[in-house]
């Protein structure tokens, strides 16, 4: 159960990171509300997962999921480019996250 919550929390990290950029310095109420709600839920899920998973592993998985998804959202929106080298680095990051899960 902790792994499922951790993965969901990683997804929510990408939500709040993306929303943070859309707040325009917290001047836009909608994105600011999404940012706040996703941030609180993401941190709560991470805290829950850390009760039964090693802190370093949980944090690394959470950050990895959030980072990869944040980049992919930016690419999908046309705000960022995905070169073959960047894709390879992101694939490596995903591989590392899977590796952490496998050895835990």
Give CA 65 to chain center in angstroms.
4
pTM value?
Answer: 0.87
Mean pLDDT of the chain: 94
- What are 100's two structure tokens? 């952490």
Q: Which domain holds residue 84?
A: 2-103
What total number of domains does the chain contain?
Answer: 1
The tens digit of pLDDT for each residue in 42-70 reads: 999 999 999 999 998 999 999 999 999 99
């Amino acid at each position: 159960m902790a792994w499922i919550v951790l993965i969901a929390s990683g997804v929510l990290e990408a939500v709040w990171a993306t929303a943070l950029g859309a707040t325009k310095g917290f001047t836009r109420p909608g994105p600011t509300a999404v940012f706040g709600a996703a941030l609180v839920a993401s941190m709560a899920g991470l805290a829950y997962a850390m009760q039964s998973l090693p802190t370093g592993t949980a944090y690394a998985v959470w950050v990895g999921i959030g980072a990869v998804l944040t980049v992919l959202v930016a690419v999908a929106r046309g705000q960022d480019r995905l070169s073959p080298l960047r894709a390879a680095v992101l694939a490596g990051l995903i591989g590392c996250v899977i590796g952490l899960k496998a050895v835990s």
